[in-house]
Amino acid sequence: MYSAARRAPCKRSARGPSWGGLGIDTHASGGTVAADEARSRRRNAAIKGAFFSEVIDMFDIYLPVVVLTPIMGYFQPAQSDPSTATILASFVFITTLLGRPLGSLLFGRVADRIGRRRATLYSVVGFSVITLAIGLIPGYHSIGIWSYVLLAGLRFLDGICLGGGYTGAIPLALESAEKRHRGFVGGFILSGFCVAYIAINLVAMAMYALFPADGLDSPYARFGWRIPFFIGAALGGVLAFYYLRHVEESEIWQSETAGGARALPVTALFRGAAGRNLLQVLVMMTGFWTTQNLIALYLPSVLLPQTLALTKEHVSLTLLVTYTCLFFSYIAAGLLGQRLGRRRAFLIIAPAIATLGAGMLYTLTTAAGWSLPAVMMLTAALAILVTAPWGIIVTYINERFATDLRATGFGVGFSLSVVVTSFYAVYLRWLEGPFGAAAPVALLCIGAALATLGAWLGPETRDVDL
């Protein structure tokens, strides 16, 4: 029996009216009407907080990719050759990914020992301050190479805090949710990623319009790029205020761990049943992160603009349409996992990625000359299929670990495998030898195979009590 199942069942509320028509109960059985309403407010505040935490976390994570790409030379020596400049630019994003697993471990321990709410607050305040500091960095012309060092270093620290943001907020939300609604809640929370991506692109487009980006002396290079970072810091402040005023600590965590007094040491995560659970989750997540990177990173940076020669405006429009569709697909996938079971849904979707998804990706790589609407439709369909499991993943991983290790197990299981898979470009280069132009298709199949194996090794968790 895996560790999440050894906890005593928690009391569950009866069916009641839904929150905002989204199917989250607003009444629970037992107690007075006032107590029921208080419990409902507590539950909904935790879920809303996790959703907005996901939005703001993802907003900050992808800021450099969208906002800094046109003016990375602002932080680098002017004499850098193109290959060096590309490596330095990519390292800024990689440092954030490297910080996330460390942040997940550190803040996961905080969440398991002193509370999910406090861990979320600490991480939100941390990345808000760091994001503000990034927006104040002087350029290379002012402080030399320290400009780039500050950018990379602050992004690493930002990654640590961002890794802690979902480590506390998502377990708190899922522990507050009704068991029969956990699938929806997980999908709803993850849909915040789509909101963040759309918001970043809209903000960036507004900055490009207001502050022309035509060189390192342009208004955008001198000031325009800073505004999105100031917005990200302000959003973090609003989120911290929301948690202070509206979100309460998880009742399950308080009762199961006696307010953290019975929390297990971190070493317990790497041995026994918890260690086996973690290994299974890491295998599965290595596969899903591999497939995800082809959609989130390769598709917008290589496939659409270079292979298909879409203009910058057409790429942006295609991605906006795609991520709008993904918002609804994450929720639909969460509901599917609730109906069929998490494991069964994975074992249906992951093989479909390796077959149907591989065919769609291959077709897209040879779609030169297609009309823009046709490319947009195929891109959206591929993204929906490949990223659908993510609407199930956060719920599933939280259900795999007991309360006293849940935040740490979720954070590490969710984030650690992202380090290996972030070097997807290297793997594509290796695969170009045997597979040529079909290297992305081969990598997609490898990722889907790992995801299928990882899901097959794990149990069903839909009916486990948190």
pLDDT tens per residue across span 297-348 = 888 888 888 888 888 889 889 999 999 999 999 999 999 999 999 999 999 9
The confidence score (pLDDT) of residue 83 equals 67
Q: What SS3 state is found at 157?
A: helix
Q: How confident is the model over 187-194, as a mean pLDDT?
A: 95
pLDDT number for residue 390: 95
Do the beta carbons of residue 154 and residue 130 sit within 8 Å? yes
Structural tokens at position 26 = 């607003």
Contact residues for 187 (Cβ-Cβ < 8 A; gap 6+): 330, 331, 332, 333, 334, 335, 337, 391, 392, 395
Measured distance CA(91)–CA(250) in Å, rounded: 37
Report whether pLDDT(8) > 80. Answer: no
- Greatest mean pLDDT range, 5-9, 65-69, 433-437: 433-437
Confidence of residue 140 (pLDDT cuts 50, 70, 90): confident
pLDDT over 80 (residue 9): no
Give which of 94, 59, 361 is closest to 194, Cα–Cα: 59
At 34, is the pLDDT very low, low, confident or very high (cuts 50, 70, 90)? Answer: confident
The mean per-residue pLDDT over the stretch 413-433 comes to 89
Burial class (CB in 10 A: 0-12, 13-18, 19+), 82: exposed
Contact 164, 296 (CB under 8 A): no
| 148-157, 297-306, 328-337, 349-358: the lowest-pLDDT one | 297-306
What residue segments make up the domains of the chain, in order of their start? 25-263, 264-466
| Overall CATH class of domain 264-466 | mainly alpha
Q: What is the mean pLDDT of residues 425-434?
A: 91
Give the pLDDT of residue 355: 96
Q: How far is CA 302 from the centre of its chain?
A: 21
CATH architecture observed for domain 25-263: Up-down Bundle (1.20)
Q: Max alpha carbon distance in the chain (Å)?
A: 71
Give the pLDDT of residue 4: 42
Neighbours of 19 (CB within 10 A): 17
Model pLDDT for residues 35-51, shown as the tens digit of each residue: 778 788 899 999 999 99
- Cβ burial, residue 258 (10 Å; 0-12/13-18/19+): exposed
Query: What integer pLDDT is reported at residue 13 of this predicted model?
Result: 38
pLDDT of residue 95: 86
Q: Is there a common fold for 25-263 and 264-466?
A: yes
- Residue 346's pLDDT is 97
pLDDT at position 237:
94
Q: Is the pLDDT of residue 416 over 60?
A: yes
pTM of the complete model = 0.87
* % of the chain surpassing 70 pLDDT: 92
Q: Amino acid letter at 24?
A: I
Range 4-17 average pLDDT: 39
